Structure 1
Amino acid sequence: MIPVTIFAGRKLAVVGAGLSGLATARALQAGGADVVVWDDKEAGRAQAAEAGFPVEDLGQADFGAFAALVLAPGIPLTHPEPHWSVKKARAAGIEVIGDVELFFRARAAAGAGCKVIVITGTNGKSTTTALTAHLLESAGRDVALGGNIGNAVLNLAPFAPGMIYVLELSSYQIDLTPSLKPDAAALLNITPDHLDRHGSLAGYASVKARVFAQLGADGTAVIGIDDAPCRAIAETLDGPYAVKHVAIGRTVRNGVWAADATLFETDDGNEVARVDLTGIGSLRGAHNWQTAATAYALARSQGVDAPALREGLRSFGGLAHRMEQVARAGKVLFVNDSKATNADAAGKALGSFDNIYWIVGGVAKDGGLGGLEPFYPRIARAYLIGEAAEAFADQLGDAVPHTACGTLARAVEQAAEDASRSGGDEPVVLLSPACASFDQYANFVERGDAFRKLVMQRNGVTSLTG
């Protein structure tokens, strides 16, 4: 835990009693602050009380008594309208911040010789963050991994010389962090997302761009330039820091680009290193080449040399539920991509394999399978599950052979049997649902865990996940 001492002896309100909210309250208390907690949900209030924090109905509170309001990132700050607690804080003239802001202020106060790397973007943040941390750790660096990836920033190890904090940040977290000042930052990509919380794509992009706003002369900005919003941001990066571009399928003058499962590092137009990604199962597909290129550039910014990064990339196991290679049974590969909750995400997996026995369905997003037509030739058969099965059968029509299975268990059974009889190379049983899970599972994690369990119960299966 990182004790936050900068508010010692002062009273603060923490709104939102989830993982980050309770970590915040704990860190502030440890630093000597007087903390009260509120959550709009009864279950959250009960959780805070059980953890030993004072729970106060802030709807009746005098916000002038608080030094600051610390808001959980999932609570609206601006759009579609500010949360009631934000309105009260602004009326009282007190600041509204988040736990990541406390992290950066505490770091500045500590004066510790540690570094912070921040990764954001619409897609691929978690894998890039995990890979960056892995590359640094495999090169012998002391690393703390957290943020939006699951471990609240204030739960990380206290600041220490030589430590590198690798943080995944969402746009919500960035919006609550005016003192965001990393030593290196990466923006992967921008596609329309969370527009209800930022008002427009332009508003969303402007929040993402803040990761670079306070980079110092020794800092490094790493930015993907394969989408128009990021290219526009890249053109504005003229600070004193180094700028590294990342691209897929085209060269960059300074940065890292990828093609045909190979990374090329360039400096002033000259190639200085290349890394072959062939055979690294956790980094299959062009979207994962972008992940690898970004993590490579970030690790290089911390002084890790190319040979060490080659070794680190080859030992990366990937993240659960994200094109996770679960097991093999003979020539059949089983892949858990349960995190693919929309068509765009599923397309990344479909584009990474051939001879696919595709398990798809759940609660469909707008457009259903629209946009996946170019991948249909790769699909041997689709196995439809959940609420979307009938609609997906209509969308697939005669273009893709398909079977209505209803349940994941039935889909795994049929897909595995069909794949085992395939005459093609490396048949892949792929769970990439292009749907939310809520009709049959609480979340994508539960769905992916169920897939893994069903696969491992089959005869002749060899685990690939340890």
Structure 2
Amino acid sequence: MIEALTFKGDTIAVFGLGRSGISAALSLQAGGAKVWAWDDNEQTRNTASAHGVKLADLTSADWSEIDALVLSPGVPHELPETHWSAKCAKDADVPIICDIEIFAREVMARAPERRPKIIAITGTNGKSTTTTLIGHILSQCGRDAQVGGNIGRGVLDLDSMHDNAFYVLELSSYQLERTYSLKPNASVFLNLTPDHLDRHGDMKGYEAAKARIFDNQTREDAAIIGVDGPEGKSACTRLIAKNNRRVLPISGRRSLGRGVCVIKGKLYNVMDKRCEMIVDLTKAVGLDGEHNWQNAAAAFAAVRALGLDAKAIGRAILSFPGLEHRMENIGSVGSAKYVNDSKATNADAVAQALKSYDNIYWIAGGVAKEGGIESLTPYFKNINRAYLIGDAAPDFMATLKDKKIPAKISGELRMAIMCATRDALASKAKNPVILLSPACASFDQFKNFEIRGDEFRKLALEIVSIYDRERANAAIVKGAA
């Protein structure tokens, strides 16, 4: 845990006692702050108290005694409606911050030569993959990589700071809008598409929140920007014009005069005064799909900007196992492979998987999102057969029947994977893919997408084990004949 020593002696209110709230409260308490923590939910308060968090009812607090409010990222301080705790803070001129700001102040309190390296990643899509990939590269290259923020461990739950540590942080717009002191050595801005507009008002507000990742950088820092979309291009142009930091454009689909780009699956380094092919991403089993090419370019640029060897980075990229539940390769039976994409809970996410493979035996369904799967029509040509589960099965069946895509209602995941495996192995299709990419939430049959993905993985590995055992037995019998 990182102790928040910069707040020693201060009275800090903490509202929202989920993962980040509990983490912030315990960090502040360990650093010597007086913590008043609260949540609207009694059960959540009880859980926090059991972890050692000191509770105080903020609805009746004297806000003139409070030095700062640490507000959970999911609690709005302005739009769509100001939460009562944020209103109390504003009325008393109490600054509103988040756990990332606490972390940033701890970093900046250290002497410059003793500060750990910070790599911060944001964007609408690809944050988790890029963050995890950067952590993997650093670890493979012998660095102490601490990965967290909006993924995995909360930032203040990461290991205590030391001079040689690298903190790799996935940051959401909700976190960035309440962070003021963060100065990343490398900031990554992947892309921007409409999301969370109720919270930020419009695309301009959403982009402004994301762009805060660059605010405190100086000439020795790197700003890495995906330029495959219009928002990234304009952000790149603006930062280059300021001429106060190293700006590195990245692209997953076109050549660049400088930066890092991927052309037909090959990643090129154009950062070091010459163009050098580093790695063939089509051989990176943990980065299936063209949408991952920009993620790989971003990861390369970030760690190369901090001095890691280019060839070593390339080798580490090839060894990346991928992210759980995001086009995760599980194993194979014969020529058919299993891919767990349980995180794909909407059609936009499923599109990335469907356009990445041919000869798909598609498992989909659950609790449908608005719009269904109609938007996936351009990718239906890659589906050999669909196996539908959960509440959405009848509606999905109607859509697929209308598009003349063979499909059946399997009901539950076990039946779906068994039928998909049987059909894939019986087919003459080249390298068939048994793909769980549900286009749905999970809560009709599973608590969350992680449990759904874990069940798919368990079932797939059971089938792989049986298949391998039967092949081994057949070989033994043949050898003994």
Structure 1 distance, partners of 2:58, 2:325, is 39
Look up the match of 1:456. 461
- Counterpart Cα distance in 2 of 1:83 and 1:339: 30
Contact 1:327 1:462 survives alignment (8 Å): no
1:154, distance to aligned residue in structure 2 (A): 0.7
Match of 1:249 in 2: 253
Does the Cα contact within 8 Å between 2:96 and 2:178 map onto a contact in 1?
Answer: yes
Secondary structure of the 1:235 match is helix
Deviations 1:232-251 (A, max 9, x none): 22221134211111112211
Structure 1 stretch 365-374 or stretch 378-387: which is displaced more? 365-374
Aligned to 1:354: 358
Q: Is the 8 A contact 2:185 2:220 kept in 1?
A: yes
Q: Which residue of 2 aligns with 1:82?
A: 82
State the match for 2:429 in structure 1: 424
For the residue of structure 2 that corresponds to 1:384, the secondary structure is strand
CA distance in 2, matches of 1:41, 1:241: 44
| Residues 44-443 of structure 1 mapped to structure 2, 5 A cutoff | 44-111=44-111, 112-237=114-239, 238-267=242-271, 270-396=274-400, 397-443=402-448
Deviations 1:376-398 (A, max 9, x none): 11110011111111111222224
Following superposition, the deviation at residue 370 of structure 1 comes to 3.0
Tell whether the 8 Å contact from 1:245 to 1:254 is kept in structure 2 after alignment: yes
Alpha-carbon separation, structure 1, partners of 2:181 and 2:311: 35
Answer whether contact 2:124 2:193 (CA < 8 A) is retained.
Answer: yes
**Take 1:280 and 1:226, find their aligned partners in 2: how far apart are those partners?**
21
Cα separation, 2, equivalents of 1:54 and 1:270: 57
Q: Which amino acid aligns with 1:123?
A: N
1:228 offset after TM fit, Å?
Answer: 1.7
- Measured in 1, the distance between the counterparts of 2:128 and 2:45 equals 29
Matched, 1:6 2:6: yes
Number of matched pairs: 463
Instruction: Output the CA distance in 2 between the equivalents of 1:457 and 1:283.
Output: 24
**Contact map agreement 1:243 1:254 (CA 8 A) in 2:** no
Shift in alpha-carbon separation, 1:273–1:426, aligned structure 2, 3 A: closer
Extract structure 1 runs of 4+ deviating beyond 2 A. Answer: 110-113, 267-270, 456-463
- How far residue 461 of structure 1 moved from its aligned partner, in angstroms, is 4.7
- Distance in 2, Cα, partners of 1:278 & 1:361: 29
In 2, the alpha carbon distance for the partners of 1:5 and 1:249 equals 45
The amino acid that maps onto 1:335 is V
Corresponding position of 2:475: none
1:28 is matched by which residue type in structure 2? L
Q: CA deviation at 1:399?
A: 3.0
1:176 CA drift (Å): 1.2
> What secondary structure sits across from 2:78 in the alignment?
coil
Deviation at 1:87, TM superposition (A): 0.3
Distance 2:467 2:43 in 1: 41
* 1:62-117 deviation per Cα after TM superposition (whole angstroms, max 9, x unaligned): 11111110011111122101211000000011100000000000111122231100
1:453 offset after TM fit, Å?
1.6
- In 2: Cα distance, 1:132 partner to 1:181 partner: 18
In structure 1, the partner of 2:473 is none
- Determine if contact 1:328/1:462 at 8 Å carries over to the other structure: no
State the distance in 1 between where 2:192 and 2:369 align: 19
Offset at 1:273?
3.7
**Larger fraction in helix:** 2
Deviates more, 1:233-242 or 1:442-451: 233-242
Deviation at 1:462, TM superposition (A): 6.2
Shift of 1:185: 0.4
Q: Distance in 2 between matches of 1:455 and 1:302?
A: 40
Q: For the residues of structure 2 that align with 1:248 and 1:115, how far apart are their CA atoms?
A: 26
Judged with a 3 Å threshold, the aligned counterparts in structure 2 of structure 1 residues 271 and 350 are, in CA distance, closer, same or farther, namely: same
Which letter does structure 1 place at the counterpart of 2:443?
F
- Alpha-carbon RMSD across the aligned residues, in angstroms, is 1.5
Aligned residues of 1:190 and 1:227 also touching (Cα < 8 A): yes
Q: In the TM superposition, what whole-angstrom CA distance separates every residue of 1:140-196 from its partner, at most 9, and x where no partner exists? A: 222111101111111111221121111001111111101121111001111111111
Could you tell me the TM-score, scaled by structure 1's length?
A: 0.96
Residue 349 of structure 1: how far off its partner (Å): 0.8
TM-superposition CA deviations, 1:368-419 (whole Å, max 9, x none): 1132122111110011111111111222224311111121121111111111
User: For the residues of structure 2 that align with 1:276 and 1:353, how far apart are their CA atoms?
Assistant: 18
User: Amino acid of the residue matched to residue 254 of structure 1?
Assistant: R
Q: Is the 8 A contact 1:129 1:166 kept in 2?
A: yes
- In 1, the alpha carbon distance for the partners of 2:467 and 2:246 equals 48
CA contact (8 A) 1:341 1:435 kept: yes
Which amino acid letter does the alignment assign opposite residue 234 of structure 1?
C
Shift of 1:302: 0.9
